[in-house]
Structure 1
Amino acid sequence: MLAQTIRASRSSLARAARQHAVISRRTLIAPTAVRQADLVQDMYLRELKNYKPQQIKPSDAEGHVQKFSVPKPPPSPEESDIANDLKSYENQTVEVEGQSAEGTAAPEEDWFEDEEEEAVVPPGATH
């Protein structure tokens, strides 16, 4: 029985060693990718290198930018008009909400009064 156990363990160890060797061989050999030429990328990079931007001239902005002009100052009000306006303002009567022009209080209206509901008449009934 001991001999069978030893043989079984030897065979399992040998099998494990072979599998480990195969795995290690596979991981050590890594395939390298061959770089393929990308024609579009090469053309794009070549055009970028050959591009020369145009020089900006001061006259390029004409037609796109409006000329700045200082706005006209507002006309100065007449001093006599201010005095007359101030006098007419001082002479005005003060209007207070809820008072009539004579100075007596106007009767207040109750805006939240409930209207009387009409009596509901059943159909077929006469008055």
Structure 2
Amino acid sequence: MSSTILRQAFNATRAASRSCAFSTSTVARRDLVQDIYIKELKGYKAPVAAKDAHVGAVKQYSLPPVPKAPVLPADLASELAAYDASEPTVVAQAAPAAAAGAEQVGTGADTFLTFLEADLPKHDEHHH
């Protein structure tokens, strides 16, 4: 079996070599455009940049000011005691009362769902 595979591989390579034969007798043709391009590239000299060319395009770097350490109040205990003694605001209690009143007006979710489940009002045929 291996001799059959080797024979088939040999025949396939021989057939491929016949169809893809390379010819070494052709003369290489010179590309004039490529030759001119390469000649110009070799002859190019980059312009020398001036020493002050960056002026106006680059900002001068300056260090930011050093931050100052926070200062603790001298009488921290009395300030904490004043904070603890202060009364909380009553605004938080007024908000639920306003929300309860808004639901009674008809803006709540249950009111909306009830409206959707209700039957549509019947119109007279004469108006249309």
State if a TM-score over 0.5 links the two structures. Answer: no
Per the shorter chain, which TM-score range? 0.3 to 0.5
Q: Which of the two has higher C-alpha Rg?
A: 1
Greater share of helix residues, 1 or 2? 2
User: TM-score of the superposition, structure 1-length normalised?
Assistant: 0.44
